[in-house]
């Protein structure tokens, strides 16, 4: 038996729109974001619809400025470049001068004690920050068996809290952080890959 599905969505549905479903007398299923009678039932809510963050140069003017160093550090320590870039964007917005209220510094927001333990002498230096943060991320991945969610939670809230709660800690900030970084990771892995900067060689001088 074939069932025809008719989708009637607004031309420009608002973000976060619920989707409703109704079965017509002939067996046709009709989906819409604007139900016209009580025969429709809720089919899908915004929570069920995957979203993908969009990033651009207006919001993050240095978005791709550190791709070369990200690729180098990621390759050196065996971490996905997309994951490293996602962490950097979530941590500092690609701002090498970023500093948190807690005292975290630089692109990968290293705390002073963490930076010191990683041998990072200048956490404001993009090269040192990216390499140190990538090494720390590698350490968290190794500590939690390669589980990206737990590694990210540990990067944000500390490995002690992940072990204490046997999973992502019940801190709203940490839980939001894990979701955000994973979303950015998929973006940089699948749609907007980290690229080696292209430099144009100077032409012949007259």
The model carries a pTM of: 0.72
Amino acid 56: pLDDT: 79
Report CA 103 to chain centroid distance, whole Å: 23
* Nearby residues of 194 by Cβ (< 8 Å), 6 or more positions away: 67, 70, 71, 74, 81, 82, 85, 188
Hey, which residues are catalytic here? Answer: 91
Q: How confident is the model at residue 12 (pLDDT cuts 50, 70, 90)?
A: very low
Indicate whether 171 pLDDT > 70. Answer: yes
pLDDT of residue 52: 54
Is the model's pLDDT at 2 over the cut of 60? no
Q: Could you report the per-residue pLDDT of 15-30, keeping only the tens digit for each?
A: 456 666 676 666 666 7
pLDDT in tens, 41-68: 665 555 444 445 678 788 899 999 999 9
Q: What is the dihedral of CA 61, 67, 68, 72, to 10 degrees?
A: 150
| Confidence check: pLDDT of 126 > 70 | yes
Edge-to-edge strand order for the sheet containing 41-44? 5-8, 29-32, 19-23, 41-44
The runs of H, that is alpha helices, within 118-192 are: 126-143, 148-157, 159-165, 172-186
pLDDT score at 204: 52
The residue behind tokens 């068996």 is: 145
Across 56-70, 102-116, 121-135, least confident range: 56-70
Q: Per-residue pLDDT averaged across 145-161, rounded?
A: 96
Query: What is the rounded average pLDDT for all residues in the chain?
Result: 83
Structural domains in the chain plus CATH codes: 5-48 (no CATH), 67-191 (1.10.530.10)
> What is the separation of C-alpha 205 from the centre of its chain, rounded to a whole number of angstroms?
45
């Amino acid at each position: 038996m074939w069932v025809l599905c008719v989708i009637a969505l607004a031309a420009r549905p608002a973000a976060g729109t619920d989707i409703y479903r109704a079965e017509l007398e002939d067996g046709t299923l009709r989906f819409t974001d604007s139900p016209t009678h009580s025969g429709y039932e809720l089919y899908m809510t915004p929570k069920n619809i995957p979203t993908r963050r969009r990033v651009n140069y207006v919001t993050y003017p240095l978005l791709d400025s550190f791709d070369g160093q990200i690729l180098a550090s990621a390759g050196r320590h065996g971490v996905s470049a997309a994951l490293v870039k996602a962490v950097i964007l979530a941590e500092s917005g690609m701002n090498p001068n970023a500093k948190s209220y807690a005292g975290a510094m630089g692109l990968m927001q290293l705390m002073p004690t963490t930076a010191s333990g990683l041998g990072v002498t200048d956490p404001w230096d993009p090269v040192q920050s990216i390499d140190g943060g990538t090494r720390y991320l590698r350490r968290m991945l190794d500590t939690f068996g390669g589980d990206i969610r737990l590694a990210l939670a540990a990067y944000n809230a500390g490995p002690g809290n992940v072990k204490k709660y046997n999973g992502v800690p019940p801190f709203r900030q940490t839980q939001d952080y894990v979701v955000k970084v994973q979303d950015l990771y998929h973006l940089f892995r699948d749609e907007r890959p980290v690229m080696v900067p292209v430099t144009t060689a100077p032409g012949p001088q007259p």
